[in-house]
Structure 1
Amino acid sequence: MPLSEAGGRVSDMAIEVRPASVFVDVKAMVGPKRPDANVCWCLSYRIPSKENLALQGPARGELVQKLCRQDPPPGVLAYDGDEVVGWAGVHPRSDTSFARNRKIPHVDDLDVWSVWCIRVRPGHRGKGISHHLLEGAVVFARDHGAPAIEGYPVDNKGEKVDLTMAYVGTRKLFERAGFTKAADTESVLNGFPRVLMRLDLG
């Protein structure tokens, strides 16, 4: 079902954001062309580092398929009509590597959710889909009872971010979604400092 402020839908024009429970669509966004390839599958932050390193080839996709059947699933997907065009990884921080990340601080003891990856399919970039994905991630977290949601984007001050590193988002993207800076971090990506952006949902 699509997402909404009332438990249903985020949409503008043709873009719709839904929970990532359809494995084939998640695979289209974050899976490899070859099933035996050791690509991320958006697992590097989702599971402990040791487990992430141990998972090889097809086992990575098998784990994601299992996560897609869980409640909550591992994130949200953006659709343009019937075509999947975007992905955002979002989940309770306690079940991610951010629970133990020494470079990114904990602001308080709330059981916050984290959004750590925002990805738009090639050919669909520059259409504002990342904004829909972040908005959808917020609604998804709220609908599952999250008291707050965090992101850890780069503070690039308008400078260009390398496309391969842009998945964390920018401070400006999060600010437009209503997030505010809650803390500095010791993490640096593509030469830019990452900041902890927070949105209270209570």
Structure 2
Amino acid sequence: MTCPTAPSPITVRPAHAFNDMATMLGPKNPDSSVCWCLSWRLSSRENRELRGIDRADVVRTLCDRERAPGVLAYRDGDVVGWAGIAPRSELYPIAHSRNIPHHDDLEVWSLWCLRVRPGFRKQGITSALIDGAVSYALASGAPAIESYPVDNADARVDQTMAFVGTRRMFERAGFTKAADTTSVSGGIPRILMRLERSGNGIPADQ
């Protein structure tokens, strides 16, 4: 009798590897205009005007900074997931949103995007991404981390809108609901969830 092989461990690292970012977020045709997860960093005007390879160049610059634009998950050396996490002040649409409230005046970090490569879903990668993103933010001095998932209960979430995550995902990671929002994703209301540095059993030096 053959015992099933245990899945390989997942590692999460700051997103400094541009080629791996391109695997997760970039188009097959380099000249094509895709989000590159910049829609949540730029103003509407900047987002409209930035096209094609210029979008990739902005991401390359973000990867070269000391502060990574997020984290990447790896299994057996292959990149398999991405989580966008950054100070909310760097994320123009969230910092200036009329639909997502500012819960308080803390300089919080926002975890706004989760993406897992096709073929690797339902393997624990999303949970590893959330945990890794939280650890990176706390190590970078974040006083609290916010997320803005759908409060979907058991309703199905359209795959194209699943990047925001679900309430249950973040509750498993220790987040709690902090406020309602007037934002929706795929027709489902989103909520503001928070994880405080000094709360939920997280030591200040994690």
Q: TM-score range by the shorter chain?
A: over 0.9
- 1:13 deviates by 4.6
Aligned to 2:25: 30
Secondary structure of residue in 2 paired with 1:45: coil
Distance 1:57 1:65 in 2: 13
Percent of aligned pairs sharing the same letter? 58
Give the distance between the partners of 1:53 and 1:141, measured in 2 at CA.
29
| Distance in 1 between residues matched to 2:102 and 2:76, nearest whole Å | 38
Residue 49 of structure 2 aligns with an amino acid whose one-letter code is A
TM-score by length of 2: 0.91
Write the distance in 1 (CA, Å) between the matches of 2:142 and 2:120.
30
Structure 2 matches for 1:44-123, cutoff 5 A? 44-96=39-91, 97-123=93-119
Per the alignment, in what secondary structure is the counterpart of residue 142 of structure 2?
Answer: coil
Q: Please, which runs of 5 or more residues in structure 2 have no aligned partner?
A: 1-6, 199-206
| Mapped pair 1:147 → 2:125 | no
Deviating beyond 6 angstroms after TM superposition, the runs of 4 or more aligned structure 1 residues are none
- 1:170 and 2:166 matched: yes
- Aligned-pair CA distance for 1:146: 0.2
Aligned-residue Cα RMSD (Å) equals 1.0
Compute the displacement of 1:48 (Å): 2.0
Q: Quote the Cα distance in structure 2 between the aligned partners of 1:110 and 1:162.
A: 32
Q: SS of 1:137's equivalent?
A: helix
C-alpha deviation, 1:14, in angstroms: 1.4
Match of 1:131 in 2: 127
TM-score normalised by the chain length of structure 1: 0.93
Provide the aligned length of Structure 1 versus Structure 2: 191
